[in-house]
Amino acid sequence: MQTFAALLFAYVLSIFFRSFLSVLATKIMADMGIGATELAAMSSAWFIVFAVMQFPVGWALDALGPRRTVIPLMLIGGIGVVLFPFAADATTGAVAMGLIGVGCAPVFMGALYIFARTAEPSRFGLLASLLLGFGSIGNLIGTTPLALAAETWGWRQAMMGLAVLYGLAFVMAVLFLKDPPRIAAQAGSGVLAGLGEILRQRVIWLFMPIVLFSYAITVTLRGLWVAPFLEKVVGLDTLAQGDVALAMAIAMTLSAFLFGAIESRIGRAKALALGGNLVMVGVLAVLAAVGKPTVPAATLAFIVLGFCGFGYTILMAHMRPLFPDHLVGRGMTLMNFLFIGGAALVQTGSGWLIDQGRTAGIGEVETFARMHLVLAAVLFAATLVYLLTPPGPKRR
């Protein structure tokens, strides 16, 4: 419970910062005079920095412990949180988002490290899913509440309020975060030490495609393209867009609790992940085929994508037995690097696809349909590779 108290608020904000740009996209692009590619690059800056930071974070968790890892990096993140509301252009916004990525990078991994070191293996997936579920309140904040705040006070003022909340999260981490007992075995003193031992396990490579793309597609749709798609294709206004994004965020939150409870009780992490990803492939393919769905159909599609695409902790639970205790920090942060690095890749690529379609003059409906089709194809290929992985542990 102390870990939850120390890091839950910070993780709520970490979830918020990876997805809030979708709701503010139209306002930010108009205010800064930028297009979809620049907006995607701004969002990608958070994911790229977050992903790269996983390597030093993994080393620091194993060598220094969570407290001396999380608190200094959160302090750096605070600079970005304060800077973002004053950004006048995409470059400054990207720098601010990158700094925020530094501050968010150790939060979830710090908690998972403590769970992996102190909890029974059968409870790891449940604890991780509970943290993810409660942390997904950040998704909820970044939907209708953020849209209302931006409409009432302006997007810059709304983000200044988030800076105050970030300061409170930092104080909670300082007061409550404690390290687990140290262990004698270490994989070496270098940042990359121990990664070779992990990567020499051939089975790890079978997980990589699904880790790279499954979460990335969900967070890209929720974090960037829900609102623009609903505006340009479906014809909804800002508050209605926020309502659909809120419904998607609620589905993501509920799935974190439900899948975590199922995995903790019966195991079968692989079956859960496979089912969720195959449903996502189907929904994306339908969106591509239909092109311009009705409002109820679009709402249902994004709810299902949110519910089935948040199997992040289930994949982590599937992979946890592959990492020995002295490498658990580096093992989990390597996978987190792929989760978040994949999001940066998909966001950048999807932004390029959107701008290419608009440049070619093919229309918004066909532009988004093409993006959905590409995402469906990539996820289907990754899921086929995941079929070759060993089954997850069963519970008695």
Tell me: pLDDT of 156 over 80: yes
Burial class (CB in 10 A: 0-12, 13-18, 19+), 274: middle
83-92 pLDDT tens trace = 999 999 999 9
- How far is CA 227 from its chain centroid? 18
Which is more confidently placed, 369 or 36? 369
Report whether 95 contacts 83 (CB < 8 A).
yes
For residue 358, count other CB atoms closer than 10 A to its CB: 15
Tell me: pLDDT of 261 over 90: no
Q: What share of the chain is helix, strand, coil (3-state, %, to 5)?
A: 85, 0, 15
Burial class (CB in 10 A: 0-12, 13-18, 19+), 390: exposed
Mean pLDDT over all residues of the chain? 86
Report whether 389 contacts 322 (CB < 8 A).
no
The pTM score is: 0.74
What is the rounded average pLDDT of the residues 286-290? Answer: 96
Tell me: pLDDT of 396 over 70: no
121 band by pLDDT with thresholds 50, 70 and 90: low
Whole-angstrom distance, CA of residue 272 vs CA of residue 259: 7
pLDDT of residue 166: 95
Which is more confidently placed, 226 or 381? 381
Kindly state the percentage of the chain with pLDDT values over 70: 93
Tell me: pLDDT of 187 over 60: no
Give how far Cα 246 sits from Cα of 186, 253, 299, Å.
Answer: 44, 10, 10
- Of 1-15, 182-196, 327-341, 367-381, least confident by mean pLDDT is 182-196
190 band by pLDDT with thresholds 50, 70 and 90: low
Tell me: pLDDT of 265 over 80: no
What is the rounded average pLDDT of the residues 142-165? Answer: 90
What is the rounded average pLDDT of the residues 7-20? Answer: 88
Tell me: pLDDT of 186 over 70: no
Which is more confidently placed, 285 or 263? 285
293-346 pLDDT tens trace = 999 999 999 999 999 986 777 887 788 777 776 777 778 778 888 887 888 889
Whole-angstrom distance, CA of residue 367 vs CA of residue 41: 19
Tell me: pLDDT of 76 over 90: yes
Q: What is the CA radius of gyration of the chain?
A: 20
- Of 70-79, 115-124, 352-361, least confident by mean pLDDT is 115-124
287 band by pLDDT with thresholds 50, 70 and 90: very high
237-253 pLDDT tens trace = 878 888 898 898 888 88
Tell me: pLDDT of 55 over 90: no
pLDDT of residue 183: 66
Tell me: pLDDT of 229 over 90: yes
User: Of all helices (H) and strands (E), which one includes residue 133?
Assistant: helix 121-135
What is the rounded average pLDDT of the residues 39-60? Answer: 86
Highest mean pLDDT among 45-54, 123-132, 366-375: 366-375
